[in-house]
Structure 1
């Protein structure tokens, strides 16, 4: 997932080595944080950034974009506006947690502040020692959290997965653990009892953790409303049909994350530099219409997997080679990138399978001892 010219440091944590072996491809979050920071600082790029500043409003006025900004102060906030020739939205879509509306959930949280948690704010198992926990969600965050809690929280961990779409990469392997009990959707919460739509319930619940993803939101850009948790009108998930001076980087559900950002950023930069062109509005609309037919008009519209090669090559062709000695040269897609990605997901699934098998064997052994 690394950028093509900036390899991720070969720094592996002892925990990751213990779980996945000496060649583990996974890195601690601090390594990834420093990786990004080092890229930012190497050429004093940070001097071009205004930190602790929020974008409050963006609108096109004539041939320019008016951007209203706010910086918080100790005694007062400072507001001002600036104008730009173009705007690149790179704020991502993993910012606003999505928590579904559940009858009684708000009262459950009011009665026990901190009892409702989204995976964005999950900071480890220590706070859940000997607590009865319900985990909502069937994707990777819910899976990681449930597995992390099996030997800390009260057994079993109650997971709301039945009838929910599992992660396209990891499936439901993690939830096949003897200390995890799977349930369908929550019907309501009454006091500390969670009732499920099949009529079953769990009493004396201490925490409900939601691994239910995020909501796309662009509050600063009212001219481009989000629809069905995606941004409509983006050609190749990058160029706004109505005005190519509004571009997006990161408006995808990706797997090769940094590389996809790199390809998108290069194309966006070359458009703004006049070194790449955009198709006609009709052609861009046709691309979106055809993708809706194949992927639907919801979140799956923006999922690149498993068509990485097709997408990378399409964007690389649009970006072009660039002028000699100017800009970043995008290499042809290498299938080893896809293989490495799949190998990483299989490595994690293999770990879950081993843990599940060991837990089942331990329970069986304990049962034999009890019968003796």
Structure 2
């Protein structure tokens, strides 16, 4: 029985990526739950670590919701593809968190580097190509594959009384006459663990003229989620919007091949990434103020941009928004905890709804050092649902949220852990407590500061490589 007096026997996990795996494993190890079900809308486990050659579209408006049928079970006409399910991977992507700390504590990554990473970071470096991460997750999930329902979308998760009612849709069925249909049904659960992550819907800043200009020349506008290959930008005039690691990686790929200079528009300066903005051919600018298109530009499929310092650049072929993602859990209806300011409201330590831990989240953090932080979150949640955790009172949870808002602000930064890894990981450890003798679980290790250095070593090596490229270019002048 949990702290709030409820018994949770049937638990649903939404998503079969790394956070979904962490949740499924932690729940199984508790040996307290009668039913564990994992629902994944893609046709394979692994979540965002699968490459989709065809990218998502530019996210100026949220995807339309599928109409829920009035009765269940039923067959219905096929729904349109949810293109937000397409991943953000590009052809040469390597992990940005050191493999030793990125991996789950019970399963190290195999040592395998991409050719690009060896050229830039050296042999036996701490990055891993996405294919290795993908295979790692598929292998780990085999132990819990019996829990997983693939190609199954949770279209609605609604709490009625003490039960969560999940409305589920699965394509690939047919009427007796051969007409393709989606099969719809419902299942009931005592608790829901949301593990769909936060890399689904790209965030686009509110910029003067963007809506009108996008309608006229949509081909110019991209989100980093749609970035696939530098081949698409050769000899093009490009503006990259954003100042964090995704922007730095794209600038690294493109600075030497675009029709220079490559403009990097940033609202603020990330000191650790300065070497990327100093690469030859890169011009760092303040944030983007306005986009527009003259008649000549429209004829050529180009636009103009104005930066906040007043400089205007015309004949731009591509604007790539490496501006992060929106928190999006549209299937939680009603009482969706996502705010208009892009955070979760009323959720303690980013993991459980305050006053009702039957709704939990794994993976809703920024800069937390995945996948290991997912493991810590999942173990804490599993213990909470098993009634074995040290969950503070509702009053204390509300006070935590109040203080967090004061510290981080009412935005997605509310969920940012960097640089306070130790305090957060150790709080999850305290909540989880020690494992029950009746379980197969384990005690989470206490945070060690050297983990941060190990995890962020890739960034340090990238900085050295960026500096080397700049020095080589200057020597040629």
* TM-score (ref. length: structure 1): 0.91
Of 34, 39, 44, 2:135 maps to 34
CA distance in structure 1 between the partners assigned to 2:205 and 2:430 by the alignment:
41
Displacement of 1:262 after TM fit? 0.2
Alignment of 1:1-372 (within 5 A): 1-41=102-142, 43=143, 45-73=144-172, 75-161=180-266, 164-167=267-270, 170-184=272-286, 185-191=288-294, 192-221=303-332, 222-227=334-339, 228-324=341-437, 326-362=440-476, 364=477
CA distance in structure 1 between the partners assigned to 2:466 and 2:104 by the alignment:
29
CA distance in structure 2 between the partners assigned to 1:173 and 1:304 by the alignment:
24
CA distance in structure 2 between the partners assigned to 1:10 and 1:275 by the alignment:
37
Partner SS state of residue 155, structure 1:
coil
Displacement of 1:110 after TM fit? 4.4
Displacement of 1:215 after TM fit? 0.7
In structure 2, the CA distance between the partners of 1:336 and 1:197, relative to structure 1 (3 Å rule), is closer
Residues paired across the two proteins, number: 358
CA distance in structure 2 between the partners assigned to 1:165 and 1:95 by the alignment:
24
Unaligned runs of at least 5 residues, structure 2 = 1-101, 174-179, 295-302
CA distance in structure 1 between the partners assigned to 2:247 and 2:160 by the alignment:
44
1:53–1:69: 8 Å Cα contact kept in structure 2?
A: yes
CA distance in structure 2 between the partners assigned to 1:244 and 1:334 by the alignment:
29
Partner SS state of residue 265, structure 1:
helix
CA distance in structure 2 between the partners assigned to 1:299 and 1:238 by the alignment:
15
The higher-RCO structure (CA 8 Å, 6+ apart) is 2
Q: Could you report, residue by residue, the CA deviation over 1:291-335 in whole angstroms, capped at 9, with x for unpaired residues?
A: 222222222221112221111111111101112362133122222
1:235–1:284: 8 Å Cα contact kept in structure 2?
A: yes
CA distance in structure 1 between the partners assigned to 2:346 and 2:218 by the alignment:
41
CA distance in structure 2 between the partners assigned to 1:52 and 1:167 by the alignment:
39
CA distance in structure 2 between the partners assigned to 1:106 and 1:313 by the alignment:
44
In structure 2, the CA distance between the partners of 1:103 and 1:314, relative to structure 1 (3 Å rule), is closer
CA distance in structure 2 between the partners assigned to 1:337 and 1:28 by the alignment:
21
C-alpha root-mean-square deviation of aligned residues, in Å?
Answer: 1.9
Partner SS state of residue 76, structure 1:
strand
CA distance in structure 1 between the partners assigned to 2:394 and 2:202 by the alignment:
33
Displacement of 1:286 after TM fit? 1.0
1:370 aligned partner = none
Displacement of 1:231 after TM fit? 0.4
1:102–1:189: 8 Å Cα contact kept in structure 2?
A: no
Displacement of 1:20 after TM fit? 0.9
Displacement of 1:223 after TM fit? 0.8
1:138–1:172: 8 Å Cα contact kept in structure 2?
A: no
Partner SS state of residue 247, structure 1:
strand
Partner SS state of residue 268, structure 1:
helix
2:170–2:184: 8 Å Cα contact kept in structure 1?
A: yes
2:363–2:374: 8 Å Cα contact kept in structure 1?
A: yes
In structure 2, the CA distance between the partners of 1:320 and 1:16, relative to structure 1 (3 Å rule), is same
CA distance in structure 1 between the partners assigned to 2:255 and 2:218 by the alignment:
23
CA distance in structure 1 between the partners assigned to 2:317 and 2:121 by the alignment:
32
